[in-house]
Structure 1
Amino acid sequence: MNGELTTRRLLAMIAAAAVLGIGVLLMWQPVYLPEFDSYGLQIRCGSGFLTDMSHPELVDGGAGPLRDRCESALLQRRAWAVPMMVVGAGVLIALALRGTRVVSPRSQQ
């Protein structure tokens, strides 16, 4: 029973895969500032995976406060989404690699 795929282990693997998937989805979602540009659009900073400072408000402002807030928002997103992905992947890998024990007929007697 040590290495068998039990219901509890299967449910733990599903939960770990869900945590990993949610972390990836959250990293994929765009990060916006609460401020709007002159056209009424929210200022986009990129996503958790890629930084995008090509918005005109960020380019024109140089290294101003909007750019700093963008970098801070991206850092906050990564600060909790990356550990979420690492924990989900770690638990999933640990459960998937857990070896199965072969029981010989002689040892059952």
Structure 2
Amino acid sequence: MIGIFITLLGSSFVAYSLFFDMERLPKGELLTESASPNGDYVIRAYVAKNDSTASLRGELLCHQEGTMKTIYWNKNENTAVIRWIEKDTVIINGHILQVPNETYDHRWD
């Protein structure tokens, strides 16, 4: 039983890492960037193109922590409209996110 549990747990971790980890997404080409009203955060939008489609990736830079992470991934987008509502609330192409904790990934819709 323990062996089966460990195998299933390991398989789940590998599957998540390979197919759903947002840090493994293609980098893409820088499209635009937008700073939060108080300057704590910057969101950089990148467009990643393959043979037939383009996808948009949003990367959050947190100045206080010195960290970067992907917070937005959507298929069939090649433009970015980034609008800050508050110092930690942003709308990216119609998706409202509370940074730094919330993310949007079309694969979970």
Q: Same fold (TM over 0.5)?
A: no
In terms of fraction of residues, the more strand-rich structure is 2
Higher relative contact order (CA 8 A, sep 6+): 1
TM-score normalised according to structure 2 size:
0.28
Tell me which structure has the larger Cα radius of gyration: 1
